[in-house]
Amino acid sequence: MGDEDRSRELPRRVRGATGSGPGPTLPRVLSEELRQRIHEAVQAERAVAVEPDRESTTESTLNGAAPVPADSDVTAPEVDHVGPAAEPKPLAEPQPNGSARTDQASADHVAEPVQNGSAPTDHAPVTVMPARRPPPPRQKPVRRRFFTARAVVVAVVIIVAGLFGIGLTRHLAKSPHGSPATTLQAQEAAAATWIAQQVSHSDVVSCDPAMCSALAAEGFPRSNLRVVGPTAPFPAPYPLTSKVVVVTPVVQGFYGSSLASNWAPGVLATFGSGDTLITVRVIASEGAAVYQSELNADLSDRKAFGNSLLGVSFIALSGTARVQLSAGQVDPRLMLAITALAAKQSVDILEFGNIGPGGDADMPLRYADLAVSDPGAQLAGPKYVQSILTDLGTVPAAYRPARTVTVVLPGGQTVLRIEFTAPTPLFHEESS
């Protein structure tokens, strides 16, 4: 009976059935030689893929492929490659007993992802993976588009910055020191300072509202300021009751060129130019023609008076001063003051001059520079200067200097300057 039992064919074991003893030993799926060749092919492919550019790893990660450890024997299919893939070596021939698969099936089986970390058994159904497609082209066009867009943005920024720089340069060229409005304000301030120092405070001055305010701020009496401008009826009447008019762009807009050509021909000083031009002019209440006729007659009288002083022994004159007196260029008030001073002591006149930028050349010279010492004087040094100042204080008010001040000339010489205010009255008005 025992023999019969041994002669019977044992029942075939069904896959998945449980048994009490150890199961039969399964044959290896791949031989060692085949595994070694696959391993070498994988390593060669990795070396080629990693060498050209590290960016492929980042791109593969972005495309959904996880990086594979370098020491792994099994590789998952790569999504993107940098460089050509290495060709796999030919696999071994099928082993006997039907346990081995074809080369392509074996390779596909190795490339198949391993589940739960265990290799498939020989009895498991084999899923043949499709042949690997060539890697997709690198995403460089995207990066190129990114860099191209960035280059365009940078170019636009540079252009805008250039235009802004040009606008900024133009703005800085005009503001705060170059804009017409600011330049005009600076010229008005300079003119107001000059008028407050050089024009007699007893004379009436006509000006626009802004200039009148600036003059008042400089100490010019408000009672002697006459406003011309928007508050006056149009057309604005000519300021013929004033001695001086300040022609600013505002005043120029009211009168045009008629004021200067008909009623204010004489220029005492000029500030600025072009659209910011300001001129300080003498009012000719009887018209420009009458004014010029009287000015010519006054020049003749000044020449005669100046030549008479050339022969006075108590008056020492430099060559320049003699020419100026003889040419009738000296203010008649100044010549009268020198005559009164020379009647008491000797004086030494170095030069006559005028204070006023851009004034007419035929305007009389309103100051004289005297030496602070004179060989013919009985006093010397500070006592001599003090005696001159005392004597000038006793002359009639009509030709008493408005200002006496010690000045150091560019050459280093110290002088005593005797100065009269503008405008210069006609000679016949002072002699009468």
Question: What single string gives the DSSP state of each residue in 205-266?
Answer: EEE-HHHHHHHHHTT--GGGEEE-STTS-SSPPP-TT-SEEEE-HHHHHHHTTHIIIII--E
pLDDT at residue number 81: 41
pLDDT at residue number 63: 46
Distances (CA, A) of 357 to 241, 278, 280: 25, 11, 10
The architecture (CATH level 2) of 289-431 comes to: 2-Layer Sandwich (3.30)
Domain ranges of the chain: 29-136, 139-174, 187-285, 289-431
Rounded CA-CA distance 212/172 in Å is: 30
pLDDT at residue number 91: 44
pLDDT at residue number 183: 87
Q: What are the tens digits of pLDDT across the range 43-53?
A: 765 665 555 44
Assigned token pair, 225: 């300021």
pLDDT at residue number 383: 86
pLDDT at residue number 382: 85
pLDDT at residue number 400: 92
The answer to whether the bond into 235 is cis (omega within 30° of 0) is yes
pLDDT at residue number 18: 47
pLDDT at residue number 384: 87
pLDDT at residue number 421: 96
End-to-end CA distance of the chain: 179
User: Residue 336's closest CA among 203, 243, 425?
Assistant: 425
pTM over the 0.95 mark: no
pLDDT at residue number 428: 57
Q: Please list the ranges in the chain whose pLDDT falls under 70.
A: 1-31, 33-35, 38, 41-42, 44-180, 230-236, 375-380, 427-432
